[in-house]
Copies of this chain bind each other. A is one copy, B any other.
Amino acid sequence: MKEEFAHDKGKAVMPGNTFGEMFRVTTAGVSHGPGYVAIIDGCPPGLPLSVDDLMPDLRRRRPGQSKIVSQRDEEDVPEILSGVFEGMTDGTSIGILFRNKDQRSQDYADIKEKYRPGHADFTFDAKYGFRDYRGGGRSSARETLCRVAAGAIAKKILGQQGMRILGYVKQIGNVSAEIPDPTQVTLEQVEATPVRCPVPDKAAAMIQLIEEVRKDLDSIGGVCELVATGVPAGLGEPVFDKLKADLAKALLSLPAVTAFEYGAGFAVATARGSENNDSFIRKSSGQIGTESNRHGGMLGGISSGEPIVCRVAVKPTSSLPQAQRTVTRAGEPTQIAVKGRHDPCLLPRFVPMGEAMLALVLVDHWLRHRAQCGK
């Protein structure tokens, strides 16, 4: 007789923990296990790299950084295990290790048997037959610390080529900031407030809204805008691997993202071609570009040399301290109020995650491009 797998007979898992073609990130880890590990394959040799390069974005991502985010206390200081020799990347795969510290698994005992609305509890059970019920397990947004670390390396490579990535909060609830020229926003403006909106009065209103929502034991959604400048024309493949397609996948692969648009986005629906087309011109630099940028820096799925501008919607945190109706694993009606230390609004900590995914896509396509161009 053949021995069977314990929980679910004959369930396999398809590999799905790797992102990228030429700059490839593979991750493992859960929020309440010993830690996370990421392997980054495809980083060019000769890049000066140390943990210090990873810390700024990790600090922007980490919980406990301000009063308006989760108070879970994680330092999130990684150890680089390989791929760096005498201070430089050496072309071999980079291993990065994060230890989990402040786990408090006891907070999650209640959710073992009840499905939290808006979470992956039910779908994990439907898929695998059981789940690591400690705080989301593998679907925890804590996994994004691997992405942010990898994204920091990607950003450094891009920076050496004159490409800059920046994200900011554009909208929370009904508070929306007008950004006349996304390319003029600075990191300092973004980091000036804990909410990461570069328009000060809007930032203040957003913070106030978050405080209100928290008092109401509720949460609130928003919109993050991401901008890449200095991107050369020619990045992206013309058919399936369009730059816009890979950006959409990258950003939708982040937890809580429900929508993506670039350039004019959904506004193209009401536009006529004569107003939506950006006219080509010769710029003062002598280079060919466009007069306006409704195309968000991508034409035919390939970068045009204009700034890449895109936006994503992030839903309100699903975990709420207030009671919500749901069912048990057996289907019995019940209620659940999710304890733990959750963000009342995901947007402030989302910014570095969104930047990381944009950076990972760009460095991947830039490496493809360099392969193509021999530059």
Q: Are A279 and B313 in contact (CB under 8 A)?
A: no
Taking CB atoms and an 8 Å cut-off, the chain A residues in 110-145 that contact chain B are: 115, 117-120, 122-124, 126-132, 137-139, 143
Chain B neighbourhood of A279, CB < 8 A = 117, 324-326
Q: Is there a chain B Cβ closer than 8 Å to A180's Cβ?
A: no
Indicate if A22 sits at the interface (CB-CB under 8 A): yes
In chain B, what residue has the closest Cβ to A247? B252
Q: Is B6 touching A88 in the complex (CB atoms < 8 A)?
A: yes
> In the complex, A296→B282 CA distance in Å?
44
- Nearest CB of chain B from residue A86's CB, rounded to whole Å: 8
Q: Which of A11-19, A53-61, A182-190, A191-199 contacts B (4 or more CB under 8 A)?
A: A11-19
A contact residues, range: 35 or more
With a CB–CB cut-off of 8 A, which chain B residues contact A244? 252, 257-258
A161 proximal to B (CB < 8 A):
yes
Q: Are B21 and A95 in contact (CB under 8 A)?
A: no
Q: Are A375 and B372 in contact (CB under 8 A)?
A: no
Chain B nearest Cβ from A348, distance in angstroms: 14
**Residue in A8, A19, A47, A81 whose Cβ sees the most chain B Cβ within 10 Å:** A81
Whether A238 touches B120, Cβ cut-off 8 Å, given contacts A42-B14, A282-B331, is yes
Given A258-B263, A263-B258: A299 and B123 interface contact (C-beta under 8 Å): yes
A102 interface residue (CB < 8 Å to B): no
Closest 6 pairs between A and B when the two form their complex, measured CB to CB: A120-B300, A16-B237, A371-B371, A10-B374, A28-B95, A259-B261
Chain B residues with CB below 8 A from A93, complex form = 15, 17, 26-29, 138, 239
| Residues of chain B with a CB closer than 8 A to A245's CB | 248-250, 252-253
Query: 1/0 per residue A286-297: CB within 8 Å of B?
Result: 101011000110
Least Cβ–Cβ distance between A91 and chain B, in angstroms: 4
Give min CB distance, A170 to chain B, whole Å: 9
Q: Which residues of B contact A27 (CB under 8 A)?
A: 39, 93, 239
